[in-house]
Chains A and B, each alone.
Chain A
Amino acid sequence: MRRLNPSLVVGAVIVGLIVLTALVSFVWTPYDATLVDPAIRLAKPSWSHWLGTDKFGRDVLSQLMVGSRTTLFVGLVAVGVAAVIGVPVGILAAMSRRWASEVIMRSNDLLLAFPALLLAIMFGAVFGASTLTAMVAIGIATVPSFARVIRSGALQVMRTEYVLAARAAGRTPFPIALRHVLPNVTSLITVQASVSFAIAVLAEAALSFLGYGTPPPTPSWGRMLQESQEFLFSAPRLAVFPGVAIAIAVLGFNLLGDGLRDRFDPKLEDRR
């Protein structure tokens, strides 16, 4: 039995809590997250409103809870898009001839050099600002890092003798990719997914902050930050709560990614 490493445990706990919060928010929040109540604008934290209310009198805790749904949803779709495109591209690059592999990887580098946020803003400008365009744009911008990591893992697998044995048995490239390469890079995919998830969460917050992400009234941590701007001096807590939420979420997914990487290290895993 291998020992669990602390970053894996802490990361998993944080991510678990966020997921739990999001699930709970479907059935229960202290108040309706979008309920406007001018009578209690900018209320301080109290027993009835634990984290206070914002400029429209909406309950901050409820907004944070519902906002975690947006965060997770954005991360899931963005990472999903990145993995669905990036993994096959990486495996293809690893298995194709040298010149084809060069073409794939150089175009990959080209996309890698393109800033994710800029791409997302362009998407927003062209297709209209929405959670979906933000997610797809972040996903596409994450494809190159996926492809790069998966390619290097797949190259290692292609050099093993079990792939040679499969070829000697008459397996053709596509089944080899499916039966041998893909199962042996799943650990890399998991690690890359959790790290990309953190990046996606941050990117969504940044986009919402800039007004290119989730449009109102759907609560989003990034937009909560943006709306708190004008009260930075009078009510800094409005910026602190979503800011801390974003920081903890990013930390959680990064820790989880690091922990998984240690646990799945191909050298430890395959050379046991």
Chain B
Amino acid sequence: MPEPVIRVVDVTRDYPRPRTSLLKPAPTVHALRGVSLEVQAGERFGIVGESGCGKSTLLRIIAALDRATSGQVVVEGTDITRLPERRLKFLRENLQLVFQDPMSSLDPRMRVRDIIAEPLVVQGHPASGERVRELLDAVGLSPDAGDRYPHQFSGGQRQRISIARALAPRPRILIADEPVSALDVSVRAQVLNLISDLVDELNLTLVFVSHDLSIIKHVCDRVAVMNAGEIVETGPTGQVYATPTHPYTRRLVSAIPTLPRALAGATTSDLLRGAPE
């Protein structure tokens, strides 16, 4: 087996909480409790779990935006766990992110063209208008979108801008943190297909996080199921979806609403209880 693009080995992350007492030590939150995973080149790797299970923390550690308390993260053969920011240039060029909240992920005071060109400017590439237009075109926005401000766009369009920014420095790894969760159902499929197509076209490795297993199934080849800071199950998406082995995964799968079940009169509470098929 070739060397994986991303290797995470037994990573933990503790957050100190504010002290509640002068005498007792500050309580800690264990956001990650020994997470290990491997992502192969060109793979579409999904991470699924409910909110607060540590998915975003894991992503931030992989992107070196946060530091692991213990464990090791290796990206493209380089151990980034304790690397200082000035030696992370290769990571900043090769790994980009798309965030969840289309409102807060674009600076409201910057024009779209400057937002998209930001990674280029930072990394010392010539930030040509040509490249920005090319990117706008790639994500299906009109060339004059570059002159406008983020608040003039809808949620779906803003996610397209985010994707264009992420692709600007021609990364090899794309990390998407719940990129469609904040969008209307009607535009979700469009944005998902866009990500899917671009990943194929540009030969990217994709790490895709969602709380929704059916979205992961739509996009990813392999999936890791996270619960309370741990990975409880990993496997090919179809297999995990069809024959979940861990009880948590089973509950997650049975919670996916389907039309036949809805017509049979299942309520939300039935779904949560893991109603029999």
List the interface of chain A (C-beta within 8 A of B): 160-162, 164-172, 175, 179-180, 183-184, 269-272
Contacts and interface: CB of A to CB of B under 8 A. Distances in A.
Contacts of B93: 170
Nearest to A187: B109
Interface in B91-125: 92-93, 95-97, 99-101, 103-110, 115, 118-119, 122-123
A164 B97 CA distance: 9
Contact of B118 (A160, A169, A172, A271): A169
Tier of interface size on chain B: 20 to 34
B65 A168 contact: yes
Contact of B89 (A162, A170, A271, A272): A170
A184 B103 contact: no
A165 B165 contact: yes
A161 B101 contact: yes
A162 B169 contact: no
B85 interface: yes
B100 A161 contact: yes
Contact of A270 (B92, B103, B165): B103
Contacts of A168: 63, 65, 92, 95-97
Nearest to A184: B109
Contacts of B89: 170
A222 to B, nearest CB: 39
Contacts of A164: 60, 65, 97, 99, 105
A168 B93 CA distance: 9
B88 interface: yes
Interface of B: 60, 63, 65, 85, 88-89, 92-93, 95-97, 99-101, 103-110, 115, 118-119, 122-123, 151, 162, 165, 169
A160 B104 contact: yes
28 contacts: A160-B104, A162-B105, A162-B107, A162-B115, A164-B97, A165-B97, A165-B99, A165-B105, A165-B118, A166-B107, A166-B118, A167-B65, A168-B63, A168-B96, A169-B122, A169-B165, A170-B88, A170-B89, A170-B92, A170-B122, A172-B85, A180-B109, A183-B107, A183-B110, A184-B107, A184-B108, A269-B108, A272-B151
B123 A169 contact: yes
B119 A169 contact: yes
Contacts of B60: 164
B89 to A, nearest CB: 7
B222 to A, nearest CB: 24
Contacts of A175: 122
Contacts of A170: 88-89, 92-93, 119, 122-123
